[in-house]
Amino acid sequence: MIIPDLPPEEAQLLCRAASRADIAMVFFVAPTSTDQRIKSNAAVSSGFIYYVSVTGTTGVKQAVALSVVKQVRHIKRFTDKPVCVGFGISTPQQVKDIGRAADGVIVGSAIVKAIEQQKRSPDLVPAVCRYVSSLVKAIR
């Protein structure tokens, strides 16, 4: 379960309830996170660590991969949990570059945009599947 803007210090009751229901809790780490925040978020995350690759809002960004690999490696110094990267990822090259260090790559807004672009087309499902397939192929 991912609840944006829920700090781990305020999530104790929810984390216990999620654990009883066998639901993993996922917390964010950002480029601005201190080492102490990385440690605390990693300690309470029970699924994976979600690294927000850029500051600001979600959506397609042009250049995210350059510093992300370095930051993912830094985060992994504090945890053995998987580190997945999201926010601003939209191209196969970004997926490939980020996938060199991350355990997973999360693409959301770019898929929503692809759906929006095809929403009136009978080719909607095949077009979106081709796009997602291009992302998957890049990481294999």
Where residue 26 sits, what CATH number does that domain have? 3.20.20.70
Q: Is 51 domain-assigned? A: yes
Number of domains in the chain: 1
**How would you class 125 by CB atoms within 10 Å of its CB: exposed for 0-12, middle for 13-18, buried for 19 or more?**
exposed
Q: Is 115 domain-assigned? A: no
Q: Is 123 domain-assigned? A: no
Convert the pLDDT of each residue in 117-139 to its tens digit: 989 999 999 999 999 999 999 98
Convert the pLDDT of each residue in 88-127 to its tens digit: 889 999 999 999 899 999 999 999 999 999 899 999 999 9
Rounded CA separation 106/124 (Å): 21
The pTM of this model reads: 0.85
Give me the chain's average pLDDT, please. 89
Alpha carbon distance, N-terminus to C-terminus of the chain: 26
Rounded CA separation 22/64 (Å): 33
Q: Is 117 domain-assigned? A: no
Helices (H), the chain: 12-20, 35-44, 65-75, 92-99, 109-118, 124-139
> Domain residues for 31?
8-107
Nearest to 85 by CA among 105, 107, 114: 105
CB 104 within 8 A of CB 84: yes
Q: Is 13 domain-assigned? A: yes
